[in-house]
Amino acid sequence: MENIAQRINTLRKTLREHNYNYYVLDAPTISDYEFDLLLKELESLEKRYPEFYDPNSPTLRVGGEVTKNFETVTHRNRMYSLDNSYSKEDLYEWEKRILKLLGTEAVEYTCELKFDGASINLTYKDDKLVQGVTRGDGYQGDNVTANVKTIKSIPLVLQKPFLEEFEIRGEIILPLAGFKQLNEQRIEDGFEPFSNPRNTASGSLKMQDSREVAKRPLDCLLYQVVGSNRFLTHYNTLLEAKKVGFKVPEDIKVCSSLQEVFAFIEYWDKARHQLDYETDGVVIKVNSLAQQEELGYTAKYPRWAIAYKFKAEQAISRLLSIDYQVGRTGAITPVANLQPVQLAGTIVKRASLHNADQIEKLDIRVNDTVFVEKGGEIIPKIVGVDLSQRLKDSKPVAYITHCPDCGTLLERKEGDAKHYCPNHYGCPTQIKGRIEHFISRKAMNIDGLGAETIALLFDAGLIHNYADLYELKKEAIIPLERMAEKSADNIIKGIEASKKIPFEKLLYALGIRYVGETVAKKLAFHFKDIDTLMSTDFEHLIAVDEIGESIARSLIDFFNDLLNIQLIDRLKKYGLQFKIDESKSTIQSDILGRKKIVISGVFTKFSRNELKQSIEDNGGKVSSSISKNTDFLIAGDKMGPAKRTKAESLGVPIISEEDYIGMIFKG
């Protein structure tokens, strides 16, 4: 029996090495026939001796597991999207921002091709794959581990020790040659061909039968190890990841200046057409992991990375008609209905027209032949008109004057590009939009409710605003279309549970213009409760870090509206959280007394996040840049010289990590 176990382990190790040589290094050392013989021997032994089962055996690459419902998994580390740029000027502006934040004169970058596939987050523990999760909304995704295991370029067991437990992120792609072969087979079998490799790769990950996934020639390119500074730079981390079995981009390049970045972009803008996979741009990252940590994130993007998008593909179509959509803030957006056209691998039927100015500027008319472009936006846009094809009886577009939903006369404020419906509390689309925002996951996160259910409740006259949700009764919900007792129970439970959602999320849920997640959190923790915030004047609002004039005016307008005041009063009576729960606060002391502190460099006693948390726990405020209002700068190793110079010129005290610890301890 010992000899059997030894042979099984030897076969597994040998097959993993050959798999690595073939799929990662592209340097096979045995023929496919020899590989298949070894695999069949292992399959036979595992079948005869099931006591030696290993969930990461090479034989499980063929699939076999059926998943009817994919488990939703919360990401341990949020998967951010990337900010996009379309010109050299955009990249110069980005560099200017990061140099200012780092307080240095130059930064080393890495350039990588931006793959057009499905993002994946892989978790490894003790050098074995334990989980594969889709990006989802960045906060949570679907557990697709069984399907991921069928992709041969993803190692199930690493070649040698790497990190004890870590996440690595990449893109599941379908190479063009494999996509072509797959479609040829589908046509031969009498099925419709797939439209593009990206959607096919993404759809493959959500197939219920992993055996079917195994039949698709999916590949995986890994581009980021999360949460480890062990290898000091992003580039070195990927080199080490390749050594242990991961397939990383071959074309990554370290650049010491934006001029070198531009050269990389210009080369690949042409050479990308020779690749066996789709790419739509270049990702530029700050190479130093310590600098990445110092730069951190905005509410949406990492500050240390940006995507440069290649010039978008264009198509020609005919503009059939124009619809006007109403947003939850009342903003009117014109949308073009097009003759269906193939563009960048998808069929396009609609395109954005942005606003009345854009329609007038391009002189866009119904029945025009138009140029459609797919840039960084989700919906394509019209970028021009072929005037040579214009019909003789063509007439300029008469932009609508009244709301397409409620018929109210539209307004357009000076300096604003968009028209607005002012019927804030009577326009059905605006009302439903605000309620949908209120219940969304980043806001009140009410389970059981979605856009369709909100529409049902509104159309039935059961709700007219988000406060009405808290008066809903199960008996009134059950008679609605497609509503069962269990569904009604879930809605009521979800609404009840939302009463415990913290103040900062509730403030965001109210849907105040310009108040996103980050601003809501900043306001909540600064003012502590809704009453203090509502009674604060303009000068006190703009004195808050990162609160500008537009946000301040929007807050004052919102809280001066009698209907908003009444809604908030109702929500208070229902027991929602309109103040910070001090009992759950992590603040340990007020030693720092609201002092504004900037941190820069690499620290030994704290990670940067730990240091930030310590400052906040002791009553301080962390700022990203030095100004005359900065109380002091905590300087670590490798701090940028420009930051030191600026601090000295403004007379901002500079202290060490040890000085800070002494200050807290003494306090």
What CATH number should be reported for the domain holding residue 338? 2.40.50.140
Question: Residue 242 and residue 227: Cα distance in Å, rounded?
Answer: 17
pTM of the model: 0.68
- Residue 115 token pair: 């793959």
pLDDT of residue 49: 85
User: In this structure, are 150 and 183 located in the same domain?
Assistant: yes
Number of domains present in the structure of the chain? 6
Average pLDDT score over residue span 132-148: 91
pLDDT digits (tens, 9 = 90+) for 27-84: 788 887 788 788 888 888 888 888 888 888 888 776 666 676 788 898 999 999 899 8
Listed residue (311, 321, 317) closest to 385, CA to CA: 317
In the chain, % helix, strand, coil (3-state, to 5) comes to: 40, 20, 40
Residue 249 phi, psi dihedral angles, 5° rounding: -60, 130
| Residue reference for tokens 């993007």 | 301
Q: What CATH code is carried by the domain that includes residue 649? A: 3.40.50.10190
Alpha carbons 43 and 60: distance in angstroms, whole number: 9
Q: Are residues 170 and 30 in the same domain?
A: no
Amino acid at 2: E
Q: Out of 208-217, 608-617, 655-664, which region has the weakest mean confidence (pLDDT)?
A: 608-617
How distant, in Å, are the alpha carbons of 8, 29, 310, 541, 618 from that of 59? 11, 19, 41, 62, 54
If phi > 0 it is left, if psi is from -120 to 50 it is alpha, else beta; for residue 400 that is beta
Tokens 């005037």 belong to 387
Question: Does 610 fall in a domain?
Answer: yes
In a domain, 656, yes or no: yes
Sign of the CA dihedral 429, 435, 438, 441?
A: negative
Instruction: Record the tokens describing residue 531, joined without a space.
Output: 């009453």
**In terms of domains, do 567 and 537 share one?**
yes
**pLDDT number for residue 548:** 85
Amino acid at 65: E
Q: H or E stretch including 327?
A: none
Query: Is residue 331 situated within a structural domain?
Result: yes
Residue among 185, 247, 180, 248 at smallest CA distance from 212: 185
Would you give the DSSP letter of residue 71? P
The per-residue pLDDT of the chain, averaged, comes to 88
The question of whether 114 is a catalytic residue gets the answer: yes
Please state the rounded mean pLDDT for residues 429-446: 93
Lowest mean pLDDT of 26-30, 153-157, 643-647, name the range. Answer: 26-30
- The answer to whether the Cα torsion of 358, 362, 368, 369 is positive or negative is negative
Strand, helix or coil at 396? coil
Residue at 409 is within a domain: no
Lowest mean pLDDT among 261-270, 296-305, 586-595, 622-631: 586-595
In a domain, 414, yes or no: no
CA angle (219 as vertex; 52, 65 as ends), nearest 5: 40
Do 171 and 117 reside in the same domain of the chain? yes
| Paired tokens of 502 | 């913290």
* Domain identity same for 329 and 289: no
Per-residue pLDDT at 496 exceeds 90: yes
Q: What is the mean pLDDT of residues 157-172?
A: 93
**What is the average pLDDT across 613-638?**
84
Give pLDDT tens digits for 230-252. Answer: 899 999 999 999 999 999 998 99
C-alpha distances in Å from residue 117, one per residue of 206, 568, 616: 14, 44, 39
Q: What is the pLDDT, as a whole number, of residue 526? A: 84
pLDDT bin (cut points 50, 70, 90) of residue 607 is confident
The answer to whether residues 365 and 471 belong to one domain is: no
By percentage, how much of the chain surpasses pLDDT 90? 50
Residues 489 and 512 in one domain: no
Confidence tier at 110 by pLDDT (50, 70, 90): very high
Buried b (16+ CB within 10 A) or exposed e, 359-368: beebebbbeb
Domain boundary among 358, 389, 420: 389
We report the CATH number of the domain holding residue 449 as 1.10.150.20
Q: CA 353 to CA 360: how far, in whole Å?
A: 10
Region 185-196: mean pLDDT is: 78
Question: Which residue in the list 40, 96, 100, 114 is annotated as catalytic?
Answer: 114
Decide which of 583, 610, 635 is a domain's last residue: 583
Q: Work out whether strand 305-309 and strand 84-85 pair parallel, antiparallel, or are unpaired.
A: parallel
| Number of other CB atoms surrounding residue 296 within 10 Å | 15
Rounded CA gap, 307 and 309, in Å?
6
Structure tokens at 551: 């946000």
User: According to the model, what pLDDT value does residue 531 have?
Assistant: 95
- Rounded to the nearest 5 degrees, what angle is found at the Cα of 259, between the Cα atoms of 254 and 265? 70
Q: Which two tokens stand for residue 414?
A: 């000076």
- % of the chain with per-residue pLDDT over 70: 96
**In terms of domains, do 27 and 131 share one?**
no
Question: pLDDT, tens digit, for every residue of 521-531?
Answer: 889 988 999 99
25 within some domain: yes
Cα–Cα distance for residue pair 528/502, rounded to 1 Å: 11
Q: Confidence band (pLDDT; 50, 70, 90) for 193? A: confident
Over residues 504-508, the mean pLDDT reads: 94
302 close to 292: Cβ distance less than 8 angstroms: yes
Q: Is the pLDDT of residue 359 over 90?
A: yes
Residues 218, 97, single domain; the answer is: yes
Measured CA to CA, the distance from residue 532 to residue 167 in angstroms comes to 42
Is the domain of 220 the same as that of 348? no
Domain boundary residue among 465, 500, 535? 500
Closest-CA residue to 174 (of 208, 139, 198): 198
DSSP one-letter code for 381:
E
Banded model confidence at residue 550, pLDDT cuts 50, 70, 90: confident
Q: Under 8 Å CB-to-CB from 49, ≥6 apart: which residues?
A: 4, 8
d(CA 68, CA 623): 47
Residues in a beta bridge with 282: 113, 308
Confidence of residue 268 (pLDDT cuts 50, 70, 90): very high
53 and 173: one domain?
A: no
Average pLDDT of span 206-215: 88
Please tell me which residue, 152 or 53, carries the higher pLDDT value.
Answer: 152
Q: How many helices (H) and strands (E) does the chain have?
A: 24, 20
| Residues 220 and 338 reside in one and the same domain | no
Lowest mean pLDDT among 14-28, 100-114, 226-240, 400-414: 14-28
Residue 319 binned pLDDT confidence (cut-offs 50, 70, 90): very high
What's the pLDDT at 172?
Answer: 95
Q: Supply the range of the domain harboring residue 600.
A: 596-666
Structural domain contains residue 23 = yes
Residue spans of alpha helices (H) in 426-561: 428-439, 451-459, 474-477, 485-497, 503-509, 517-527, 530-534, 538-542, 549-559
Is 70 exceeded by the pLDDT of residue 401? yes
- Average pLDDT, stretch 335-352? 87
Q: What is the DSSP string of 415-460?
A: T-SS-B---TTT-HHHHHHHHHHHHSTTTT--TT--HHHHHHHHHT
For the segment 127-147, the average pLDDT, to the nearest whole number, is 92
Q: Is residue 192 assigned to a domain?
A: yes
